[in-house]
Structure 1
Amino acid sequence: MIAVWRREGRVSDWQERFAGEGYHYGRAPAQFVQARMADLGAGARVLSIAEGEGRNAVWLAGQRYRVTAVEPTATGQRKALALAASQGVSLDWRAEDLKGFAWPEEAFDAALGCFFQFAAPEFRVRILAGLGRAVRPGGTVFLHGFSTRQLANDSGGPKIEEQLWTPERILPAFPGWQVIRAEDYDAVLAEGPGHSGPAALVDVIVRKPG
């Protein structure tokens, strides 16, 4: 059963969602992460936000990147660190809510925002600005989420149109950046019970000037 998303999802909602023994979105990384973030170079510093149960951060750490993961839920942290231990990798885990997160300045080679669609437009703009500040000149921001067309599907995501994406909703946050990819496309997800079935997705990859 697909969980119902709530506007500006409360930490307690996600705490409950991640409470079971199973991994709500599976243990494997999002296909976007695996396909697009495999060649950053050993030792690359990577920030991953809204990390949930750790599937993306653990895979990134397995590529020999130095990964900082931001996620406020204790249930998510418990499972993420268990997954990391099972894979023999370590994470710099920040148990913080993005609403109060002190975004670092130019500290990372890459930053990932994957399915952070609990954010209404104003909050989304703040998150995108933070991701942009966090990467160094020449660094890259990787974004992956559900398209506005996802309203027609039952494979996950909020039924709140303003929290869904188009490239045109994302790109204005990165004026003057090099656009490497900006696509709205269809795929079939098999990412645990939370993301399963035909889906409408948006990828945006941008590189900071410098």
Structure 2
Amino acid sequence: MSKEHWDNSFSDKDFVYGETENEFINHKSNIIRQHSKIGCFAEGEGRNAVYLATLGHDVTAYDQSAVGLEKTNKLASQHNVNVKTAEIDLTKEKVESNQFDAAIMVFGHVPKADQQFLMESMIDSVKPGGHVIFEVYSKDQLAYQTGGPKSIDMLYDPTDILNWINDYKCIHFYYGEAERHEGKRHIGLGHVIQVVIKK
């Protein structure tokens, strides 16, 4: 998906994926130690980054959409928190290694050829001992029609993900159904892959 696609996607006045954090991030955020430095990958309009900032973390949001990052800043100011933003194409540009205590990603969908690069950049950005937490739609999501990309090339295969996280301690891995109500783009029962690893 191009920068133009996401700029257009986020140009609605409302927050297309809602203003509240993803449920999985909410459930797993307690494993991140207090006052951590966190990178939020493919963060879109900033709902998860702002949530983590309200918990007292030092948060940087990465996305290729300037429109999404503007909305991140707007949402952060509404909650009286600060979130650093960085406009970056995560399929081509690697984020600096060993800088974060934790990294998260929620529904960061990129073409299959770019998925490993994105995952490795996200994992590398975390210091040893840090956590990586993410939730994405699986290839099975196409049949559900409740959100996410319409192309199987943009969805994730659980076997690929298991291979990419194989070198790390896996704390949580789930491949199956989940109910998601996030704005107007994720509505109802879907099929997800959830991961928590410790580097």
TM exceeding 0.5 = yes
Deviations 1:28-52 (A, max 9, x none): 0110111111341221011001111
1:65 is aligned, of 45, 57, 80, to 57
Q: Does 1:130 align with 2:129?
A: no
Match of 2:18 among 26, 44, 64: 26
2:79 aligned to which of 61, 80, 87: 87
Listed one character per residue, the Cα deviations across residues 64-89 of structure 1 (whole Å, up to 9, x for unaligned) are 01101111222112211111001010
Of 66, 80, 98, which residue of structure 2 is paired with 1:74? 66
Equivalent position of 2:171 in the other structure = 180
Return 5+ residue gaps in structure 2 as ranges. Answer: none
Runs of 4+ more than 6 Å apart: none
Aligned pair count reads 199
Q: Measure the CA separation in 2 of the matches of 1:41 and 1:139.
A: 9
Rounded to whole Å, the distance in 2 between the matches of 1:147 and 1:194 is 16
**TM-score normalised by L of structure 2:** 0.95
RMSD: 1.3
| Cα deviation, residue 173, structure 1 | 1.4
Identity %: 29
Q: Is the 8 A contact 1:115 1:146 kept in 2?
A: yes
Is contact 2:132-2:197 (8 Å) kept? yes
Residue 112 (structure 2) aligned to one of 110, 121, 133: 121
Q: What amino acid is the match of 1:32?
A: F
Residue 155 of structure 1 corresponds to 146
Alignment correspondent of 1:6: none
Please list the CA deviations of residues 86-121 of structure 1 after superposition, one character each: whole Å capped at 9, or x if unmatched.
10100111122213434211111111121011x122
Q: 2:95 aligns with which of 103, 121, 133?
A: 103
In structure 1, C-alpha distance between the alignment counterparts of 2:114 and 2:140, rounded to whole Å: 21
Q: TM-score, with normalisation over the residues of structure 1?
A: 0.90
Partner SS for 2:50 = helix
The answer to whether the 8 Å contact 2:111/2:153 transfers is yes
Cα shift at 1:162: 3.2
Instruction: Please state whether the residue corresponding to 2:181 is helix, strand or coil.
Output: strand
Q: Which runs of 5+ in 1 are unaligned?
A: 1-8
CA contact (8 A) 1:167 1:182 kept: no
